[in-house]
A and B are shown apart, each in its own frame.
Chain A
Amino acid sequence: MLITSQMVDKAAKLAHLILTSQEQEWFQKELQSIFDYMQLLSEFPGDLGEGKSEDQETHMRADVAVRSSVIETMMGQAPQAANQMFVVPRVVDKA
């Protein structure tokens, strides 16, 4: 598969990263070599069934409300906080 710069851009956008043009170029090259290597997978016979199995009984907890007291500490080290809330630049989009 050919890794195009558009593909790198799209992944960066989804990952919320901005890349320098240097990084852009380097990632494209590195990703290309990794995907070339992954080409190996096409030789793998694909119909060997499901992913990781072992259905162990699901671990569930009892419905008991427990009070945690970490919020004060966490507010103390939040990048920006006011009135016991985390603050980010105003978001215009309503929902």
Chain B
Amino acid sequence: MTSFAEFETVIGLEVHCQLSTASKLFCGCATVFGSQSNQNTCPVCLGLPGTLPVLNREAVKKAVVLAEAVHGSVAQVSVFDRKQYFYQDLPKGYQISQFEKPYCEGGHLTLSSGKTIRLKRIHMEEDAGKSVHRPQGTMIDLNRAGIPLVEIVSEPDLSSPLEAVEYLKKLHRIVVHLGISDGNMEEGSFRCDANISLKLKASSKLGTRAEIKNLNSFKFLEKAILFEIDRQQEILLSGGQVRQQTRLFDPSTGKTEAMRDKEDSDDYRYFPDPDLPKLVISQTFKDAILKDLPELPEAKLMRYLDEMGLSEGDGETLVSDPLLSRYFELLITELSGVEGMAPKTIAHWVTGEFLAAKAAKGWSLENPALTPRHLAGLLKLLANQTVSGKLAKVVFQKMVETLETAEAIVKNEGLIQITDLNQVTQVVSQVIDAHPEQLREYLSGKDKLLGFFVGQAMRQSQGKLNPNLVQEVIKEHLLKRRGN
């Protein structure tokens, strides 16, 4: 009798990612989202007789960048094929895609666990249009028809919903980071199909898979896989057989439903599109593109962690958004040469205070009200100990509200840090005298109370005292009293 624990989940993802271009893959129509129905169409993408496709160079460039980012090998010669089937929103009766010879083969992504997920291939293709189903008929909008896509096909190396989500997030980060795609999942710029099957652990034979179509959020992907695992397990445990099916995930129910069985009659009759000569991607073409290739998120993360000593959490956060990491790096540049300001601290400010303020104020990362230079001003004051860490947070809050410079705020509000030994000593003496009980406990061996005195001194000075100095002075005083 087969039981639960004997199954292994096998997942492969096919990700469709829209390339960020101004015009479609084979015609000059705009790719903007949300236009009036059929406004972004022309004879080519309407599939009128006599029309011919001409390849968009920018789409090829973006596709090559992606190939490079995932360590795939770019084919010097690849071929556009026609994938033939009838569908109301497929105007030519075929989709121009790549079948036999995709422009990129192989490649891989590495998960945080160190596990490598192999890529089978990446190919370029055009998107289909959109159908709107009304009681009186199905309405067809071809604005999307011909939008440039890459389809990234993984090997079935993923073995859990979490791995699948991590893989998808990593891929998403790459395409967004490198400007390959806007990655907008609600608008369909980044969506995936998941092939899911179960196999017996003991066996090397793969099970029959179900293909879940068009998952357009990380959550949906996770839920759909979880549901599929349960569904397939139930079938297999009751001695049934999983059918090779195309299924659809319904977010409202969290279930997948069968769309149709894969039939033998699915015969796409691929053949090379005679309207398009072979795609030759020469070394020169590639070099020119890769010359300006931005740093890959993986490499950037490594640099943040290994060279800059950032915490993993901060590093991940910064790398997750190219604009955020740009903000961070501008800040680093502003603060270059400033002593006493470690990248780790800077990163912490960005992922902590800055992101919180950004969220509260609704700033965009493209154009945040608080610029890197602005924030650098504050961090410089922190570095030269004009303000303490605690005080800096106070100043920061004021900056967020008034958008004034840190210098101005510090000056106007008298928030300058006190580093004068006499003033510090005065406050420390007062604090110690005001807490005889705690002093006694300290003297009887409760060393922990050192922090208590520091806190009291800081509070009394409204945070203006230099905390290091406070600590030093208090220690000195207490030692003196111990010695007495």
Contact = CB atoms under 8 A, between A and B. Distances in A.
Nearest to A82: B139
B260 interface: yes
A80 interface: yes
A6 interface: no
Contacts of A95: 213-214, 246, 248, 259
A58 B26 CA distance: 13
A66 B23 contact: yes
B122 interface: no
Contacts of B260: 93
Contacts of A18: none
B36 interface: yes
B420 to A, nearest CB: 63
Given A65-B30, A82-B139, A91-B88, A60 B54 contact: yes
Nearest to B214: A95
Nearest to B57: A60
A51 B272 CA distance: 11
B259 A60 contact: no
B29 interface: yes
A80 B137 contact: yes
Given A60-B60, A83-B37, A90-B134, A65 B29 contact: yes
Interface string B24-63: 0000111100001111011100101000001111111000
A91 B260 CA distance: 14
Which size bracket describes the interface of B in this complex? 35 or more
B106 to A, nearest CB: 22
Interface in B42-96: 42-43, 46, 48, 54-60, 77, 86, 88
Contact of A58 (B28, B142, B277): B277
Contacts of A57: 280, 282
Nearest to A84: B37
A55 B279 CA distance: 9
Contacts of A60: 54-57, 60
Contacts of A29: none
Interface stretch (A20-28, A38-46, A70-78): A70-78
Nearest to B36: A84
A63 B22 contact: yes
Given A74-B46, A93-B259, A65 B31 contact: yes
B146 to A, nearest CB: 12
A71 B77 contact: no
Interface in B251-286: 259-260, 265, 267, 269, 272, 277-280, 282
B364 interface: no
B138 A90 contact: yes
Interface in B213-263: 213-214, 246, 248, 259-260
A91 B46 contact: no
Contacts of B59: 63
B23 A64 contact: yes
A65 B77 contact: no
Nearest to A95: B213
Nearest to B247: A95
A21 B413 CA distance: 96
Given A14-B267, A60-B60, A85-B132, A55 B77 contact: yes
B21 interface: yes
A26 B132 CA distance: 41
B131 interface: yes
A2 interface: no
Interface in B340-378: none
Nearest to A85: B139
A59 B277 CA distance: 8
A85 B36 CA distance: 10
A90 B22 contact: no
A62 interface: yes
A85 B37 contact: yes
6 contacts: A60-B57, A85-B141, A86-B142, A87-B136, A88-B138, A94-B248
The 3 closest A-B pairs by CB, nearest first: A68-B42, A63-B58, A66-B28
Interface of A: 10, 13-14, 16, 51, 55-68, 70-71, 74-75, 80, 82-91, 93-95
Given A68-B41, A68-B43, A95-B246, 16 more contacts: A14-B267, A16-B86, A55-B277, A57-B280, A58-B277, A58-B280, A59-B55, A59-B277, A60-B55, A61-B54, A64-B22, A64-B23, A64-B28, A68-B28, A71-B39, A94-B248
